[in-house]
Homo-oligomer: A and B are copies of this chain.
Amino acid sequence: MAKDVKGIMILKGEDIAGWYEQVCLKSEVADFGPSKGTMVIRPRGYFIWEQIQKFFNENIVDKFGVENAYFPLFIPESFFAKEASHAEGFAPEVAWLDKELTGDGERLAVRPTSETIMYDSYSKWIRSYKDLPLKINQWCNVVRWETEATKLFMRSREFLWQEGHCVYETFDECEADTLNYIKAYQNLASELLAIPTILGQKSEKEKFAGADHTYTIEAFMPDGKALQCGTSHHLGDGFGKAFGVKYVGKDEKEHTPFQNSWGLSTRLIGGMIMTHSDDKGLVLPPKVARNKIVIVPLLFKGKEEGVLKVARDLKKKLKKFGVILDDRAEYKPGAKFGEWEMKGVPLRVEIGPRDVEAGEVVVVKRNDGEKISIKVGDVVGEIPGILDRMHDEMLAKAEKFFSEKVVDVSSVEDFEKVIKDKGIVRMNWCGDSDCEVKIKEKTGATTRCMPIKKSEVGSRKSEVEAGEGKCLFCGKENSCLIYFSRTY
């Protein structure tokens, strides 16, 4: 490790929270902000967010005909009151502007989410069925006044996200897209970030405040806690009624349209770091790494020039991979290896005098340490395949971990044991909110989601997969399948 750069001092297996914070800070993806609950996303971290934005804009915004826009940060207090359960859901965490600013006017909230302010505009813009569907997304910052301890990317008073808000003539049309978006999120998580997730419907208790129903993708972290990675809410026509969103249909009568809202945030970056990184530091899925390769020449006295010539030549050829040539004379190779491993550069290319003689280089994969000897002339051609393989390996490893964590249980004792062992429970459940509360009180676990019937996906409000017996806890009939775990 280069002088002044200290490595990760905490082991992932011993203190995952401490380890995670060190990885974020020392790999320079993020830092704490000066006031409580805030964070700085440093360039190495923001690059990851830009890749998420790019993937999202290409594969979701463009694909589904959504348009990006921008709505105000400040929301009048009266807007929250219009949809009662929404207001209640967000009340505890809203940050307000100093009253003196608005004089005798009403209080202004810093947006915790933008349903209310966007639908106020929609009520002015939408007149006829010809204006539908209306599909708008915004990239912005939101504020929720958390009181629990700050966790970089995972829990902070301000975070960055996108929120999509669409309006449709029919419930079914809205439902189809609500599912399209959550499936697109699942695809983004696995294709870009190598994070496997389960897709399902939230329980009544856990659904979005004001929604008809909510779909979610949930990832599972190494400590057995679930991380909600993206949600898509079918809002029914409740918000439309509350905000006076109406359209005149082909039948020349006035109707209230159906709406959905859906979001994913910088929290996803936290989930990615926690899933893949190790005791040496950051491990990045290659697609989101700005510097995909570092070349470390092994310099022995008198043989420097031959090695550096090959290194400099390779650097030119690997430019599109954001290659770094670490030719600093003052550090030993081992120190350089440690620094770039900690910062999560996916591939290290080692070039020593013997390699030069053999016309080869050694390529080392960050995810598993595998070393590959490659002829110098083949490096440029082979790199893309190696990076793709690394992505697949990281995803497969995470999928294996996840599938081993899920346990089908058939008794309350088993349930408690699985949760205690940091596992995920899959079981039959009645769907009752009271039962859910009791389970949480007894075990600390909450519902993640109910898998939805594959046959129904995309057609209409999907039904959840039926269980094969009574509710494990309360014994009620007509159960459904559900996942329980502890959560972030």
Contact = CB atoms under 8 A, between A and B. Distances in A.
Interface of A: 4, 31, 33-36, 38-43, 45-47, 49-50, 67-76, 79, 95-99, 101-102, 105, 108, 110, 117, 120-121, 124-125, 127, 136, 140-141, 143, 145, 157-158, 160
A109 to B, nearest CB: 10
Which 7 A/B pairs are nearest by Cβ-Cβ distance?
Answer: A43-B67, A38-B72, A33-B72, A41-B70, A96-B98, A46-B69, A43-B69
B69 A38 contact: no
Contact of A96 (B34, B97, B105, B124): B97
10 contacts: A31-B125, A34-B79, A34-B120, A38-B74, A40-B121, A46-B69, A47-B67, A47-B68, A73-B158, A101-B145
A76 B4 contact: no
Copies of this chain, complex-wide, total: 2
A124 B72 CA distance: 33
Given A34-B120, A74-B157, A97-B98, 7 more contacts: A34-B75, A34-B76, A35-B74, A35-B102, A39-B72, A40-B121, A97-B110
A74 B121 contact: no
A435 B101 CA distance: 35
Contacts of A79: 34
Main SS class of interface, A: mixed
A438 to B, nearest CB: 34
Contacts of A96: 97-98, 101
Contact of A35 (B33, B72, B125): B72
A108 B34 CA distance: 11
Nearest to A141: B73
Contacts of A105: 35-36
Among A108, A124, A140: residue with most chain B CB under 10 A? A108
B72 A46 contact: no
Contact of A117 (B34, B68, B102): B34
Nearest to A135: B43
A125 B105 CA distance: 43
B98 A40 contact: no
Contacts of A67: 43, 46-47
Contacts of A120: 34
Contacts of A46: 67-70
Nearest to A117: B34
B121 A31 contact: yes
A127 B102 CA distance: 43
B43 A68 contact: yes
A158 B140 CA distance: 13
A207 to B, nearest CB: 27
A102 B145 CA distance: 10
B95 A101 contact: yes
Contacts of A157: 74
A43 B136 contact: yes
Nearest to A45: B69
A73 B111 CA distance: 12
Nearest to A142: B73
A158 B72 contact: yes
Contact of A95 (B45, B97, B145): B97
Contacts of A45: 69
Contacts of A160: 70
Contact of A70 (B40, B69, B108): B40
A69 B41 contact: yes
Contacts of A125: 31
Among A74, A127, A141: residue with most chain B CB under 10 A? A74
